[in-house]
Structure 1
């Protein structure tokens, strides 16, 4: 009887903790995403809750594709302070054609990306990735081109948006990130 009561108490405590964890997860991080060119799926809340994020819609065959290098520099500069860049490849603007394997090669091998890259996704419309649906709800802005950048604070709110033409290592973007750390 005493053992059963202990097990019940432990189970109740774990269930309550899990509920509190999921209840406190920002909407933008509620859900799972598959990693680029992989079968591995991650829980966004588990991985990124409480971090400052720069969410970027990417494309591997765009004039802005070299920004991968600067995004990686940004990621390396601030990752120890609770910051992460997250890339979401998309062919919405017809510049991420071919296979996910090809996109992954460009990201990982050609540009040395170590920050999380999610599976290719759609940015708007009925099939939009839930992360981008939430971004659009919060910011009232949808990506107008590849490499649009959305700064998300630790509470999961969009606090700034940056067009494709904004360099990831620009003073403006770096200052905005530093204000959120």
Structure 2
């Protein structure tokens, strides 16, 4: 009888332990809530690229989601600036790394009063003077209250808005904003290129 008295409490304890373990396992294996991007039907496109912007050459809308999975360099440009010759370096950078997954996105802006007064003139200048082949978009506000949502997101992610023309933002393949670079950072800057190569190596 002594044995049976000690067995029943042990069995009760084992049953309670199993029940508790079962509850913990259920909680751990429960499916996690779907991320907001997935519920919006844009799981494959990071939020930073979920914008449609008219192209410079024909002003037709272009969805930036087509660059998802690439390393993206966003630059606000101008035709009559001391930094305008950076177009040459940006085009060389694009030509050198595009097959490895880099895309340069140019956003002309007159926010600093150094851009042509029409998209047609901007397009002609870029093509005829610097042979720009990387994607360019129509004149865009990049700072202030009228800043395009893309540039608002970039400023929020980095803590810095464009201070002048040819400000640069680097976005990784995963859609994470890596860093911002001032106008003084040329496309030939070694540290800048090393960071681009580092991001291109990530999969």
TM-score range, shorter chain: 0.7 to 0.9
Q: Based on CA coordinates, which of the two structures has the bigger radius of gyration? A: 2
Aligned partners of 2:110 and 2:116 also within 8 Å: yes
1:121 maps to what in 2?
A: 140
Q: 1:60 aligns with which of 79, 85, 107?
A: 79
Of structures 1 and 2, the one scoring higher in RCO (CA 8 A, sep 6+) is 1
Q: Which residue of 1 aligns with 2:52?
A: 32
Is contact 2:59-2:138 (8 Å) kept?
A: no
Instruction: Name the SS of the counterpart of 2:120 in structure 1.
Output: helix
Query: In the TM superposition, what whole-angstrom CA distance separates every residue of 1:16-41 from its partner, at most 9, and x where no partner exists?
Result: xx978613321110121101142321
Establish whether residue 72 from structure 1 lines up as the match of residue 107 from structure 2.
no
Residue 91 of structure 1, aligned match among 90, 94, 110: 110
Aligned to 1:117, the other structure's residue is in SS state: coil
Structure 2 Cα separation of the partners of residues 50 and 24 of structure 1: 9
Secondary structure, aligned partner of 2:96:
helix
Tell me if the contact between 2:75 and 2:105 (Cα under 8 Å) persists in the aligned partners: yes
1:27–1:134 CA contact under 8 A, matched in 2: no
Q: Alpha-carbon deviation of 1:161?
A: 1.4
Cα distance in 2, alignment partners of residues 29 and 149 from structure 1? 16
Change (3 A) 1:138 1:165: same
Q: How many residues align?
A: 163
Give the CA deviation at 1:101. 1.1
Q: Tell me the SS of whatever aligns to 1:156.
A: coil
Structure 2 unmatched runs, 5+: 1-37
Q: Corresponding residue for 2:70? A: 51
CA contact (8 A) 1:93 1:145 kept: yes
Aligned residue runs from structure 1 range 3-22, under 5 A: 22=42
Q: Which runs of 4+ in 1 moved over 4 A?
A: 18-21
69-78 or 92-101, which moves further after superposition? 92-101
Residue 24 of structure 1 aligns to a residue whose secondary structure is coil
